[in-house]
Every structure is written in structure tokens, then in C-alpha cells.
Structure 1
Amino acid sequence: MAERMSPSADRVVLILGLLAEHPAERLTLTEIATRLGLSKPTCLGVLGSLTAGGLLTRDEDKAYALGPALLRMGSAAENSVAPLDLMRPYLDGLHGRLRAGCLIVGNVENDMVVLDRRGTLAEGDARDFVGERFPLVPPLGLVNHLWNPDGVLEDWLAREPLVRLDPEPGRLAAVAAGARERGYVVERAGGPTDIGHAVVAQLVSSHLPEPVLRRVCAHLPPTTFREYEVPGEEDPRVPVSSISAPVFDRRGRQRYLFTAVLDRKLSPAEREDATAAVVAAGRASTEALGGHNPWDTAAR
């Protein structure tokens, strides 16, 4: 394999990697050559080609930085199948650790889409769900927006809901604040009169005609969003339906979601292990995609 590698291509990789590691700096030819252990004539030729192709920029002080062509490449990579390939190993690891049904869900335009799955989501339910699309319309999609800017969450909430909403004052703000602080959100089993998003999702996935779906939803009790836990409400007597954690892109936007479907009571130790596993999968995927979590104060 080593015999097939190109020294010229290696230099390109080294230079782009160096500048990507120091995005706030502009480096001169001498600085780049010194840090990489390359000769200045060799380095100059590579820099010239990269600058001509828009992969680098060169200012009046003859210092170099990453160029605009890389933005187009990065955007193309984000929208390709590559992100899913990078996240799948963490989905496998999460399923192996928790032995539960695990999902990767993505925000695709105005829908949330199940991109991949490991394990079954409910006993006796053999449906695949991969490729299933759900409209990002309340009450569907709250978890897909919890880690986005407040304006995005407000825009989602302003859409015409499938079911009447009746959250207690400050409930959604508390759920969002807790999720951003902890890095995950817990969905609990609702009471007999609670209509959570899972019930509506099941109706949507039945592919009823739109008029019929709206008519059925109109007869459902209102959604209170109490299925989403606020810090301080932890109770081992209440079954945990699922635990979810976000994956961010390079702009700091929530792009994907890891969800472990548990549907059982958890001891404090089991809960700690499960939340740690889901958060770790989200963080590792964010890092693999070159993203960053804007709510992670420890990383600022």
C-alpha cells in the first residue's frame, strides 16, 4: 500500500491539515515549511497550486489560510453519505453496550428521517423504520431542535400542530435548558391520559391519508410535553422510554440525534450508564464530523 502513495499528495494533506489545526492563524511559507519539515521550494510549489485552486488564500503579507473552495467541499461532504458512514460505528457500539434498540435520526429539510437502526424498537414490532420520514411539526420534532438556537425552536413551535398543545408555562424552556446543560434528554413513559409525540408518530407512520390523520388527531387529548424529563424529576419508579443526545455539524447546528429506546425502569446506576453511553456516541460522532457543541461551556 505504501508503494502506491504519492509524496506530492502527502504534502497537500500535511499543509491542509496544519492550517486546519490553526484556523485563526495565517502562516507564512517559512512557518509552514519549518513546522512540516519541508523545503521551502517544494512547499512553495504546493502552496501555489492550492492557492490557484481556491483551497488556500494568500494575503499581502504572503501568509496563507484555508480558502473558500474548502467550504464548498465541506458542505458537499456534509450532505453526502459520508456522515452516516462515520456515525455507524458509534451506533454499533451503543447498541452493543446497552442491548437496546438504537437509532440515528437526521433533520432533512422539514422532516426528521430515521437514517439507521440497530436492534428492535419494541417487543414484537418487526418494522425496520429506516428511511421513515416524520414531519417536523409539533409535537413531532422537539428533540430534533432542543440543541438548536432558541429562534429555531420557536419557529418549530409556531407551526400548525398535529395535536392541540397544552404545556404548562415554562415547560419547554425548562426541558431545553436541562437538555443543553446535561447533553441528553430523557423521555419517560406517559400516564394514561398523556398524549406524547410517540403516539402521534405511530399514527403518522401508519400512512393514513392526510385528511384522515388530521381528523383522528383532532380527537386526541392535548400534548403537555410532560413525557420529557426536567432535571430534578428523576424517579426510578417511572419507566424510561428513551434517551437521546445530539450530533452537531461544523456550524454548531444540531444535525443528527442518537436515541436509545429502553422502555423499562432503570436503577440509578443503569440510568447513569445509559445516559453516559448515549452522550458518548453523540460526542464522538460530532468530533468525527468536525462539528462542535455550542452549549458545551467546558470546551469554550
Structure 2
Amino acid sequence: MREKKKTRGRLVQSVQRAAKILKCFTANTSELGVTEIASRLGLAKSVVHGLLITLEAEGLLSRNRSGKYTLGPGLFGVAELFRRQMNIAKVAYPVMENIHRKTNETIFLAKWIGKEICCIEIIKSKLPLIFNLEVGHRFPLGAGATGKVLLAFLPSEERERIIENLELKRLTPKTVVDVHKLIQQLEQIRRRGYEVTYGERFLDVVSVVAPIRDSSGRVVAALGLGAAKARASEEAVSRWVALVTKGARQVSYELGWVADETS
């Protein structure tokens, strides 16, 4: 109980109240006045009025001719971003299941969440694996196939800016810690269209990762397979590469990407 109270103490009251105001709007209640919102939340009208003015200034609420408030255009961009994020996982999951069924290995989906690369979906292998991957897991940018694939396909200026400030840490003897070598590897990934790494983050793990594109051709996620090195024969890795790259292209097509002749 004490820990719960401590967590609540860190909440910012004004932000919490603003969030509650936004939650007052539903499919059945698309417009509300100051008095109605104040009554629903049990707050003084003066407090609610100040919050409403701020939310309107930020584009999160709009005021109509009758003086009542509705959800503002600023929320649509956030909602669209959330929809796309969830849509990628929904579209990718059947493809992930297919690869998992054919390999029995761990299959995962990762994407940029802010400035970090996170796992947003996973189907775990029942075979022995040296690391435990969960939804929400954060991938390092310079080590391992996932981080390098998503870094490789960023716009050049953004990629260079990140690399300039990137601290390369040695996680295993296989980890790349030379920035010039990393840049060369990223160029190879862009040409090849996928990456295979052996023990860069976990010594006995092999990863195969390929990029997923949206309708604009922008890389928005990465589809990956993780397996124990003991199972990674040359024949197995070749098969995994074919399945993962094909799966990533299939998800990309379903997101609206149309490959050109050079893709």
C-alpha cells in the first residue's frame, strides 16, 4: 500500500485533470460545456475553464459556435499514430504465426517508440533459448540485428545524428564497438535488405531481421527471428532468411507498400 501511495504522489494533478477532461468525451457525448464538465469531475468551474483554454490552445479541444467544447484536431494525429502502431501488430501476427509454425523459433516484431526500439509483439519458441524476450523489451541501436536494421533504414540525416551521439557498448566479444565498422554494416544492410547477427547481444543467439515498410515506402517496423546458435546451421539460417524477408514483404504489402523493380 505504501508503494501505491508513493506512485500516486508523483502524478501531476493538472495533467491528470486534463486527461480526465478528455475522457469525458465519448461516442455518445461529443460536445460538453464548462458547467457539465465541472459537474462530472467535481471541480470548480474556474479550474475547469483554465484547463479547457489550455487544451484548446494546444489543439486538443475545439470550441463550437454554441460555446461548447469538442475534441480537437490535435488528437487525430495522435490517434492515427496509435492506430498505425496497433495495425502493424494486427497485420503482422498471422505472418509471424506462419513463420513460427514452420521454424518453431521465437518470432518478434519491433518498432521505434519515441527514441527507442521496442518489441511490440512476440510468439515465443518452446525450444531452449538463451534470452527471454518480452513485449516492451528495448533493443540497443548498435548491437544486434533489430537495432541495426531499424537504424540502417532511417533517413540519412537522422541516422547520422543518432550515430554521432551513439555510445557503443561491448555486450559480448561479437559486439561491434567501432563506429566506422557499424556505418559499413548499415550500408550493407540497406543493400542486402536484411541482417543476420551471431552472438552480438547474447553470445549463443542468432537473429534474422528484415524491415517492414508502410504505404509511403518508409520503414516502420522490423520482423525478426531469434534462435539458439546450436540450431543455426547454414541450411537453417538460409531458410530463416527466406521466411523472414518474405514475411516482412508480405506485411509491407498489406500495409500498402508497392515494391518497385529495384526493391
**Matched ranges for 1:81-230 at <5 A:** 81-120=86-125, 123=128, 127=132, 129-134=134-139, 138-139=142-143, 141-161=147-167, 163=169, 166-167=177-178, 169=180, 171-189=181-199, 196=200, 198=201
Q: Which structure would you say has the larger RCO, counting Cα contacts within 8 Å and 6 or more residues apart?
A: 1
The structure with more helix, counted as a fraction of residues: 2
Cα RMSD, aligned residues only: 3.4
1:249 aligns with 2:214: yes
Distance 1:256 1:179 in 2: 15
Structure 1 outlier segments of 4+, above 6 Å: 71-74
Aligned counterparts of 1:168 and 1:281: Cα–Cα separation in 2 = 30
Report the Cα offset of residue 142 of structure 1. 2.4
Say which SS state the counterpart of residue 118 (structure 2) adopts: strand
1:181, distance to aligned residue in structure 2 (A): 2.4
Give, as a single letter, the amino acid of the residue that structure 1 aligns with 2:99: L
TM-score normalised by L of structure 2: 0.57
Shift of the 81–241 alpha-carbon distance from structure 1 to 2, 3 Å rule, reads same
1:276 equivalent in alignment to 2:242: yes
* Offset, 1:76: 4.9
Q: 1:177 to 1:74 in 2, by over 3 A?
A: farther
Quote how far apart the aligned CAs of 1:107 are.
1.0
Distance 2:159 2:242 in 1: 25
Q: How far is 1:74 from its partner?
A: 10
Counterpart contact for 1:139–1:161, Cα < 8 Å: no
C-alpha distance in 1, partners of 2:79/2:156? 25
SS in 1 for 2:152: coil
TM-score by length of 1: 0.51
Q: What is the match of residue 251 of structure 2? A: 285
**Given the superposition, is the C-alpha separation of residues 292 and 179 from structure 1 closer, same or farther in structure 2, using an over 3 Å criterion?**
farther
**d(CA) in 2 for partners of 1:172, 1:127:** 26
Cα deviation, residue 273, structure 1:
1.3
Distance 1:175 1:121, change over 3 A: farther
Decide whether the 8 Å contact of 2:142 with 2:182 is kept in 1.
Answer: no
Verify the 8 A CA contact 2:110 2:118 in the aligned structure 1: yes
Alpha-carbon contact 1:250-1:289 (below 8 Å) kept:
yes
Summarize the Cα distance change of 1:142–1:268 in structure 2 as closer, same or farther, 3 Å threshold.
Answer: closer
Q: Which residue of 1 aligns with 2:51?
A: none
User: Structure 1 residues 138, 272: closer, same or farther in 2, change over 3 A?
Assistant: closer
Question: What amino acid is the match of 1:167?
Answer: D
Q: How far 1:173 sits from its partner (Å)?
A: 3.3
